Chain A
Amino acid sequence: MRIMTSLSRTLLPFLVLVWAGALVVVLALTFVVSVWKGVSISGWNIAAAQISRWVLFWVGVYLISNFLSIAVAHGRTRREFLWQAAAFALLISVVLAAVTRFGFLVESLVYRGMDWSTGDAGGGILEYSLVYAVWSAVGAFMAASFIRFSSAALVTIPIGVVLIVPAGSLVSGANSLPFLGSLPGFTHGQAMLLTLGTVVVALGLAWAVAREMPIRTKAG
Chain B
Amino acid sequence: MRVDVTGLTVRYGDVTAVDDMSFSLESDKIYGLLGRNGSGKTSLMSVLAGYRKPSGGTVLVGGEPVFENRRATAGISLVRHVADAADKSDKISEALTYAAWWRDSWDARYADELLELFKLSRDEKIGALSLGQRSAFGVTIGLASRAPLTMLDESHLGMDTPTRYKFYDALLQDFMRNPRTFILSTHLIEELAALLEEVVIIDGGKLVLHEETDSLRSRGIEVTGVADDVDGFVAGLTVLSEKTLGRTKSAMVYGSLDDEQLAAARRAGLELGPIALQDLFVHLTEPVGETR
A-to-B contact residues, CB < 8 Å: 2-3, 5-6, 66, 69-80, 211-212, 214-215, 217-220
B134 lies within 8 A of A220 (CB): yes
Which of chain B's residues have a CB closer than 8 A to the CB of A70? 84-87, 98, 102
Give chain A nearest CB distance to B11 CB in angstroms.
Answer: 12
B73 near A77: Cβ-Cβ < 8 Å: yes
Given the complex of chains A and B, what is the CA–CA distance between A6 and B46 in angstroms? 25
Q: Contact at B84–A73, with CB atoms within 8 Å? A: yes
CB contacts (< 8 Å) of B102 on chain A: these are 2-3, 6, 70-71, 74-76
The 4 closest A-B pairs by CB, nearest first: A218-B83, A74-B102, A73-B85, A215-B51
Chain B residues within an 8 Å CB radius of A212 = 53
Of A3, A5, A215, most B-chain CB atoms within 10 Å = A215
Binds A, one of B74-82, B116-124, B192-200, B271-279: B74-82
> Chain B residues near A3 (CB, 8 Å)?
101-102
Distance from A147 Cβ to chain B, minimum over Cβ atoms (Å): 12
Please count the residue pairs between chain A and chain B whose beta carbons lie under 8 angstroms apart in the complex. Answer: 80
Please give, as numbers and ranges, the residues of chain B lying within 8 Å of A69 by CB-CB distance. Answer: 84
B99 at interface by CB-CB < 8 Å: yes
Residue of A nearest to B80 (CB): A217
Contacts of A66 in B (CB 8 A): 87
Q: A214 to nearest B CB, angstroms?
A: 4
B211 is an interface residue with CB less than 8 A from chain A:
no
Instruction: Please judge, given known A-B contacts A70-B85, A220-B83, whether A75 and B103 are in contact too, CB under 8 Å.
Output: yes
Q: Is B69 an interface residue (CB 8 A)?
A: yes
Give which listed residue, B53, B80, B99, B131, contacts A74 with CB less than 8 A: B99
Whole-angstrom CA separation of A73 from B85 in the bound complex: 5
State the CA gap A69–B81 with chains docked (Å): 12
Assuming the A-B contacts A70-B86, A212-B53, are A217 and B81 also in contact, with contact meaning beta carbons closer than 8 angstroms in the complex?
Answer: yes
12 contacts between A and B (CB under 8 A): A2-B101, A6-B98, A72-B84, A74-B102, A75-B74, A75-B77, A76-B70, A76-B102, A80-B70, A217-B42, A217-B84, A218-B84
Which residue from B52, B76, B97, B104 sits with its C-beta under 8 Å from A215? B52
Which residue on chain A has the smallest CB distance to residue B77? Answer: A75
CB-CB < 8 A to B113: which residues of A?
none
Distance in angstroms between the alpha carbons of A5 and B102 in the assembled complex? 11
**Complex: how many Å from CA A42 to CA B35?**
64
Q: Which residues of A contact B80 (CB under 8 A)?
A: 217
| In the complex, B147 has a CB within 8 A of chain A | yes
Q: B68 within 8 Å of A by Cβ?
A: yes
* B81 near A218: Cβ-Cβ < 8 Å: yes
Does any Cβ of A come within 8 Å of B50's Cβ?
Answer: yes
In Å, the complex CA distance between A220 and B102 comes to 23
Find chain B residues with CB under 8 A from A77 CB.
50, 68-70, 73
Further 12 A-B residue pairs, CB within 8 A, beyond A3-B102, A6-B102, A74-B145: A3-B101, A6-B97, A69-B84, A70-B87, A74-B103, A75-B75, A75-B77, A76-B102, A214-B46, A214-B51, A215-B52, A218-B83
Complex Cα spacing A219 to B82, Å: 10
**Can you name the residue of chain A whose Cβ is closest to the Cβ of B97?**
A6
Chain B 215-243 near chain A by CB (<8 Å), digits 1 or 0: 00000000000000000000000000000
> Chain B residues near A78 (CB, 8 Å)?
68
Q: A6-B101, A215-B46 are in contact. Are A75 and B73 (CB under 8 A)?
A: yes
B13 to chain A, nearest CB (A): 10
Chain B residue nearest to A71 (CB atoms) is B102
Given the complex of chains A and B, what is the CA–CA distance between A164 and B24 in angstroms?
50
